[in-house]
Structure 1
Amino acid sequence: MSLSAERETPSFRGSEPHNNLQRILQSCPKLAEVGDSNESKNTISDLVNFLDSLLDATLSDPDNEYKENSAFEALSEIHQYICSPSLDQEVVDALSFELPKAVSKFAGISRKFLDMAISIIDQFIVKCGPRDMLSILCDTLGYSSKVTNAASYIVPPLSGLSKVLISIRRRQFEQVKETVPIILNVLKAVCLEPDEEELDNVFDRAVEIANSIYEVCDKLVDNAAREKLRALLGLYVLQCLALVSARIDYKASSCHSLVSQLSRISSYCGLSYLSLVTTYDSDAVASTVFGENKDDCMGCLSHVKNGAALSVIWGHVSEEVAQAAKEDMIAVKDELRDNQIKRWRYPWKMRG
Structure 2
Amino acid sequence: MAGDSRSSSGSQISLRLREALEACSSSIETKDVIQSDEALAPVTNLLHSIMESCTNDLDEILPGIEGLEVALDEIYRFLSSPDSNQMVVEALSFELPKLVIKFAPLSVKCGEIAGKIIEHLVSVCNPREMLSVLCEALTSPADASGGSGCYSNFVFGLSTVLLRIQRRHVEQVKVVLPVILKVLNVAFSESDEEDKDSLNDLLSAAISIGSSIQEICQKLVCIFLRTIYYFCSCFDIY
Name the counterpart of 2:14: 18
Q: Is 2:146 the partner of 1:141?
A: no
Paired residues of 1:44 and 1:95 also in contact (CA < 8 A):
yes
Specify which of 23, 30, 37 is matched with residue 27 of structure 1. Answer: 23
Determine the C-alpha separation between the residues in 1 that align with 2:2 and 2:183.
46
Determine the C-alpha separation between the residues in 2 that align with 1:105 and 1:202.
16
Name the counterpart of 2:119: 122
Change (3 A) 1:55 1:155: farther
Query: 3-state SS of the aligned residue for 2:73?
Result: helix
Name the counterpart of 2:157: 160
1:76 Cα offset (Å): 0.7
Name the counterpart of 1:217: 217
Name the counterpart of 1:179: 176
Paired residues of 2:147 and 2:190 also in contact (CA < 8 A):
no
Change (3 A) 1:137 1:6: closer
Determine the C-alpha separation between the residues in 1 that align with 2:176 and 2:53.
34
Structure 2 counterpart of 1:207, which letter?
I
Structure 1 counterpart of 2:171, which letter?
E
Q: Name whichever structure is richer in helix by fraction.
A: 2
Name the counterpart of 1:200: 200
Paired residues of 2:65 and 2:107 also in contact (CA < 8 A):
no
Name the counterpart of 1:78: 75
Cα deviation code 1:62-109 (max 9, x no counterpart): 675543332211111101111122322321221111101111212112
Paired residues of 1:62 and 1:68 also in contact (CA < 8 A):
no
Determine the C-alpha separation between the residues in 2 that align with 1:109 and 1:191.
19
Specify which of 35, 40, 47 is matched with residue 43 of structure 2. Answer: 47
After TM superposition, list the pairs within 5 Å mapping 1:1-352 onto structure 2. Answer: 8=4, 10-12=6-8, 15-29=11-25, 30-34=27-31, 40-58=36-54, 60=56, 65-143=62-140, 145-147=141-143, 148-193=145-190, 198=195, 199-220=199-220, 221-222=222-223
Query: 3-state SS of the aligned residue for 1:107?
Result: helix
Q: TM-score with structure 1 length normalisation?
A: 0.54
Paired residues of 2:79 and 2:89 also in contact (CA < 8 A):
yes
1:36 Cα offset (Å): 7.9
Determine the C-alpha separation between the residues in 2 that align with 1:60 and 1:52.
16
1:128 Cα offset (Å): 1.2
Determine the C-alpha separation between the residues in 1 that align with 2:67 and 2:210.
36
Structure 1 counterpart of 2:24, which letter?
C
Structure 2 counterpart of 1:10, which letter?
R
Paired residues of 1:79 and 1:119 also in contact (CA < 8 A):
yes
- Larger Rg, first or second structure (1 or 2): 1
5+ residue gaps, structure 1, are 225-352
Paired residues of 1:12 and 1:18 also in contact (CA < 8 A):
no
Identity of aligned residues (%): 35
Paired residues of 1:12 and 1:70 also in contact (CA < 8 A):
no
1:15 Cα offset (Å): 4.2
1:210 Cα offset (Å): 1.7
Paired residues of 1:151 and 1:196 also in contact (CA < 8 A):
no
Change (3 A) 1:222 1:59: farther
Change (3 A) 1:15 1:123: same
Q: TM-score with structure 2 length normalisation?
A: 0.76
Query: 3-state SS of the aligned residue for 2:164?
Result: coil
RMSD: 3.1
Determine the C-alpha separation between the residues in 1 that align with 2:133 and 2:2.
45
Structure 1 counterpart of 2:131, which letter?
L
5+ residue gaps, structure 2, are 226-238
